[in-house]
Amino acid sequence: MVTIRISSLVKRFGDVVALDHLDLDIAAGELFFLLGPSGSGKTTLLRAIAGLHLPDAGTIHFDEDDVTRLPPHRRETGMMFQSYALWPHLNVFRNVAFGLEERRVPKTEIRRRVDEALAMVKMDGLGARRVHELSGGQQQRVALARALVIRPRCLLLDEPLSNLDSKLRVEMRAEIRRICKEFGLTAVYVTHDQKEALSMADRMAVLDAGKIVQTGTPVDLYRRPRSAFVSSFVGETNLIEGTIATVSGDEYSIHTETGDLSARLAAPDWKPAPGDLVILSIRPECLSLHVDPPAENAITGRLIESVYLGETAQYSLKCEERETPLHISELNPHRVIRDTETRFHATAKPEDIVILKS
Ligand code: ATP
């Protein structure tokens, strides 16, 4: 178990600043996710932690050890990258044993540790199998065993499940989390899949242009984003511009193009004042549709799209005052409304509307 401390890390590729004075602390035993748009620096950061990229400035510490200039094999990190394919001509045992053979570990010790690593990923007894005789999920388990067998100080994962079908992906999410927690591993995990991050992470960071824009638990980032960027990147949301009209305790009234709305939740570390320009973030599942106008927070329009998905019904409500339709997601729908003539009112509770800096 190791803490990872990254201080003011800079990595440039020619004119591109891939990491821009990035600071990050990851606690021992934490399963930490990196999220962000394509090109925001996630893989560069992971590779810098692994020692595969030498930074231009800044430091990386594992506990008290400065590993910034240490070559990859001396950092004792276990890696599971999407492109890190298994060797098809070797059996499962030899694939997993490879890292230990390289380190000249005695044969009896190799056998014991490979068996132990295969048991960790629930592949015991399958050491003699050829790689091509394994399912996609089993191959990923072998790749994970290969990363674990060296008893890494930390585990680095870059889109490890992206080649799997959705059912296997969900199964492997739980497996990876179980293994990390059972063995107290510090793990850093890069993904494009927000559900993967939300369901697995202890904490996560959102990157943009080589910087971290917010870190927190999945609930923090989903419920209390600090910016419109984070709120629309983690999950889906509706963004509505407005101006703070009145503030009374933690009750805010906001003028918007679709009418006045009341909200109770401001972004962390911020107290908006009357006259401030703001952006409201309302998640689709926080909105509900009504025929009769609700007492407060009514946004009125006509339905331009209705999609029934079984567990949810998804609606697009077009308001006259605004170009972008409002997205509404109804959970456990008993029917789907396809009426495009009636004026419907969407409403959200004040505690479900997040006020963000404009
Ligand atoms: P993705 O989600 O698409 O994998 P990412 O967030 O992992 O993206 P990085 O791969 O870290 O982003 O890239 C960050 C920036 O650095 C991008 O602008 C990318 O083009 C650039 N970059 C990364 N590796 C190299 C390289 N070896 N040579 C030149 N530029 C690079």
Q: Please calculate the CA angle 250-254-258 and round it to the nearest 5 degrees.
A: 145
Residues in the chain with pLDDT values less than 70:
83-84
CATH 2.40.50.100 maps onto the chain at: 240-357
CATH 3.40.50.300 maps onto the chain at: 4-228
Check residue 171 and give its pLDDT.
85
- Where b means 16+ CB within 10 Å and e means fewer, 14-50 reads eeebbbbebebebeebbbbbbbbeeebbbbbbbbbbb
For 240-357, CATH gives 2.40.50.100
For residue 32, how far is the Cα from the chain centroid? 9
CB 11 near ligand 1, within 6 Å: no
Check residue 83 and give its pLDDT.
60
Measured by CA distance, the residue closest to atom 20 of ligand 1 is 39
CB 41 near ligand 1, within 6 Å: yes
Distance from the CA of 41 to the center of ligand 1, in angstroms?
A: 6
Q: What are phi and psi of 345, to 5 degrees?
A: -115, 125
Structure tokens at 174: 């739980």
Structure tokens at 95: 């694939």
Distance from the CA of 84 to the center of ligand 1, in angstroms?
A: 17
Query: Maximum CA pair distance of the chain?
Result: 77
Cα torsion through 349, 214, 157, 1, rounded to 10: -110
d(Cα 164, Cα 155) in Å, to the nearest integer?
20
Distance from the CA of 14 to the center of ligand 1, in angstroms?
A: 12
CB 77 near ligand 1, within 6 Å: no
Q: Up-side HSE of residue 354: CA atoms within 13 Å toward CB?
A: 28
d(Cα 280, Cα 283) in Å, to the nearest integer?
10
CB 162 near ligand 1, within 6 Å: no
Per CATH, is 4-228 categorized as 3.40.50.720?
no
- Where b means 16+ CB within 10 Å and e means fewer, 75-89 reads bbbbbbbeeeebeee
Q: What's at 208, amino acid-wise?
A: D
Hey, CA dihedral for 341, 342, 348, 353, is it positive or negative?
A: positive
What atom of ligand 1 comes closest to residue 192's alpha carbon?
A: 2
CB 138 near ligand 1, within 6 Å: no
Residue-wise pLDDT for 226-256, tens only, equals: 999 999 999 999 999 999 999 999 999 999 9
| Adjacent-strand bridge partners of 254 | 244, 261
Check residue 81 and give its pLDDT.
80
Check residue 88 and give its pLDDT.
85
Residue 94, burial from CB neighbour count under 10 angstroms (0-12, 13-18, 19+): middle
Q: Is the separation of the CB atoms in 302 and 275 below 8 Å?
A: no
d(Cα 102, Cα 111) in Å, to the nearest integer?
14
Residue-wise pLDDT for 179-210, tens only, equals: 899 889 999 999 989 999 999 999 999 999 99
CB 325 near ligand 1, within 6 Å: no
